[in-house]
Structure 1
Amino acid sequence: MKKWLIPFLMSLSLMVSACGNASTPTPNNAGGSETNQQQATKTEEKPNANAEAKPEMITYQSENGPVEVPAQPKRIVGLTNAPNVVALGGTLVGIDEWTKKNPLFTDKVKDVEVVSDETMEKILALQPDLIIAGSWMKNLDKMKEIAPTVVYTWGKLDYLAQQREIGKLLNKEKEAQAWIDDFTKRAQAAGEEIKAKIGKDTTVSVFEHDTKDFYVFGNNWARGTEILYQAMGLAMPEKVKKDALGPGYYTLSLEVIPEYAGDYIVLSQRKGGENPFLTSETWKKIPAVKNNHVIVIDMEASTYSDPITLEYLLKIFKEGFLSQS
């Protein structure tokens, strides 16, 4: 047995022993009373009709090889890809702190515990039957001792393939594929409508800022980039292609921001995280800003690429581009 499990299991053992030694009388059908120990002895003499059958298992072909997982997992710990699980109606008992803080999921995960790759005892106490983790995380071997653990490498799959894989894992591949087909069709149609209005060669940049720094994104770093560039087929400025398309994002010094600005700007920002640059003359002179071609999105609601987030952003983009003069 692994040393890290011993203190936790010893405490459970002591609790069970204490409960087993109790002899509190409880009513019986004859009108008298008998101890808990006597009742337990009688129960053991009979077959347990309520004993739970072992769950049906399926083999999931993960990136690290086949993993036996429950066909219908009922207690999932999602250290990564929790939003994808929520979108398919999976039952989560543990999630990462970022999903918990995301305003799109507040109501959906209000009773779910926050865990991490460093809180093994907390994960063990949740009694998960499936753990979804990232390949970069710590304690993966310990997780595998607790429950079947499936690992994903961030960015290895595109946003649609990732949802399909979560569908396979939860035995809901048909539901996942149905959403993929429908969303792809609607996003492409929206892209054609937008390009017909603003011009097919009109460029779009996706910026994000905090109180100090500015970033520009490629086509696969959330913030709606997958919708804009992949699904809708909108054009990316050449400067952005050169510096951000490969790594996914690029940190900008303030003086060069105008060089990366497209005809339209999608600006991802945290509520209350104002950057002084937004009031500068340099920012105000950028053509997209002067023409009111800036679409603002909530950063905390835009850092995933799951169906719930993508549907939310698709609506914002359609309204934002099609309402522009």
Structure 2
Amino acid sequence: MKKFALIFVVVLSLVLVGCGANSDKASNEKKEEAKTITFQSEDGKIEVPAKPKRVVVLSSYTGDLINLGVNIVGADSWSFDNANFKDALKDAKEVSEEDVEGIIALKPDLIIGSSTMKNKDKLKKVAPVVTFTYNKLNYLDQHIAVGKAVNKEKEATEWANDFEKRAEEAGNEIKAKIGENASVSVAESYDKQMYVFGDNWGRGTEVLYQAMKLKMPDSVKNSALEAGYYAISPEELGNYTGDYLVLSRQSSGDNSFMKTTAYQDIPAVKNNRVLEVESSKFYFNDATTLEYQLKTFEDFFLGK
């Protein structure tokens, strides 16, 4: 009888342990299957999908979402103009912040945009809206912030750390080849106006100056570093061009300035030290664009 009682106690203990384990497992699975997470946005705490499946992006963060493998069902015209995004957006629709009805038709479960976008209150009735202020965060922290919004902070952080390391290594190679004191300018031709850029306004500036730590000409530093960019006339470009020039322009635009004597006489032009890039592929500083910029610079400076 005592033997039977002992066996009963042992079996009961095993059953209770098993139930406890199953309970813990169920609890963990329930946590993993949570439908929403709380994201600390610029506007306060927002409940967003834990696994967003239909995202509309109305700002310069499309490439961040592409890098993180997030499904995009709608994006702005700037994103569709970028050939680097073509494959990822092949099933998406072009929309704008003013096209509320078009966005509703896409049935998004998350909308990501800029803090200045229109119709934010209307769009909040469609899906959770997360907005960011351009340049409030540095380019790598911005990617991590987007990652947090779509519950992929770990992946975003790992990419940011890896990219920073790879870009720094490439910068060291470039400086070893062109010289520590060689300077690089970034300029863009847009609608008959010329701009030179500081170190945080896209166009590859974050990669060249922040990650690679290449030298910026003093004329650009004095004019564009604080504001981010500085408008000049095409005739003045030579005054803001370093030993090398990264020239962002539209291949289909008016590039007649490149045939002028003022342009042809710039030393960097004479010495074949100009990297011409397509503006639409170089505008932003999202993760996908940053990867493209890094590869472009490696090919140009190092012949990789």
Pairwise TM-score range, normalised by the shorter structure? 0.7 to 0.9
> In the alignment, is the contact (CA less than 8 A) between 1:210 and 1:275 conserved in 2?
no
Deviation at 1:193, TM superposition (A): 0.6
Alignment of 1:62-211 (within 5 A): 62-80=41-59, 81-210=61-190
- Match in the other structure for 1:48: none
The structure 1 residue matched to 2:252, chosen from 264, 268, 272, is 272
Query: In structure 1, what residue type is equivalent to 2:123?
Result: M
Q: Does 1:239 align with 2:219?
A: yes
The structure 2 residue matched to 1:212, chosen from 182, 192, 211, is 192
Structure 2 Cα separation of the partners of residues 254 and 57 of structure 1? 51
**Structure 2, gaps ≥5 residues long:** 1-32
1:71-124 per-residue CA deviation (whole Å, 9 max, x = no partner) reads 001111111212211110111111111101210011210110111111111111
Query: In structure 2, what residue type is equivalent to 1:160?
Result: L
Identity %: 51
Query: In structure 1, what residue type is equivalent to 2:101?
Result: E
Structure 2 Cα separation of the partners of residues 110 and 150 of structure 1? 24
> In the alignment, is the contact (CA less than 8 A) between 2:185 and 2:245 conserved in 1?
yes
Deviation at 1:169, TM superposition (A): 1.0
> In the alignment, is the contact (CA less than 8 A) between 1:100 and 1:110 conserved in 2?
no
> In the alignment, is the contact (CA less than 8 A) between 1:211 and 1:275 conserved in 2?
no
Deviation at 1:323, TM superposition (A): 4.0
Structure 2 Cα separation of the partners of residues 307 and 133 of structure 1? 16
Query: What root-mean-square deviation, in Å, do the aligned CA atoms of Structure 1 and Structure 2 show?
Result: 1.5
> In the alignment, is the contact (CA less than 8 A) between 1:88 and 1:167 conserved in 2?
yes
> In the alignment, is the contact (CA less than 8 A) between 1:124 and 1:146 conserved in 2?
yes
Query: In structure 1, what residue type is equivalent to 2:35?
Result: E
Q: Does 1:57 align with 2:36?
A: yes
Structure 2 Cα separation of the partners of residues 146 and 123 of structure 1? 8
- Match in the other structure for 2:293: 313
> In the alignment, is the contact (CA less than 8 A) between 1:203 and 1:262 conserved in 2?
yes
- Match in the other structure for 1:289: 269
Q: Which moved more, 1:130-139 or 1:314-323?
A: 314-323
Q: Residues 55, 124 of structure 1: CA spacing in aligned structure 2 closer, same or farther, 3 A cutoff?
A: farther
The structure 2 residue matched to 1:252, chosen from 220, 223, 232, is 232
Displaced runs of 4 or more, over 2 A: none
TM-score (normalised: structure 2)? 0.86
Structure 2 Cα separation of the partners of residues 255 and 136 of structure 1? 34
Structure 2 Cα separation of the partners of residues 108 and 236 of structure 1? 34
**Structure 1, gaps ≥5 residues long:** 1-53
Structure 1 Cα separation of the partners of residues 197 and 113 of structure 2? 25
> In the alignment, is the contact (CA less than 8 A) between 1:211 and 1:276 conserved in 2?
no
1:146 is paired with a residue whose SS is coil
- Match in the other structure for 2:284: 304
Deviation at 1:243, TM superposition (A): 0.9
1:40-72 per-residue CA deviation (whole Å, 9 max, x = no partner) reads xxxxxxxxxxxxxx9611100011110001100
Structure 2 Cα separation of the partners of residues 189 and 62 of structure 1? 33
> In the alignment, is the contact (CA less than 8 A) between 2:167 and 2:211 conserved in 1?
yes
- Match in the other structure for 2:13: none
Q: Which moved more, 1:151-160 or 1:223-232?
A: 151-160
> In the alignment, is the contact (CA less than 8 A) between 2:249 and 2:255 conserved in 1?
no
1:304 is paired with a residue whose SS is coil
By relative contact order (CA 8 Å, sep 6+), the higher-ranking structure is 2
Structure 2 Cα separation of the partners of residues 203 and 279 of structure 1? 24
2:125 is paired with a residue whose SS is helix
> In the alignment, is the contact (CA less than 8 A) between 1:219 and 1:226 conserved in 2?
yes
Select the structure that is richer in helix: 2
1:280-307 per-residue CA deviation (whole Å, 9 max, x = no partner) reads 1221111111111111111111112112
Structure 2 Cα separation of the partners of residues 246 and 317 of structure 1? 24
Structure 2 Cα separation of the partners of residues 228 and 162 of structure 1? 18
Deviation at 1:211, TM superposition (A): 5.5
How many residue pairs match? The answer is 271
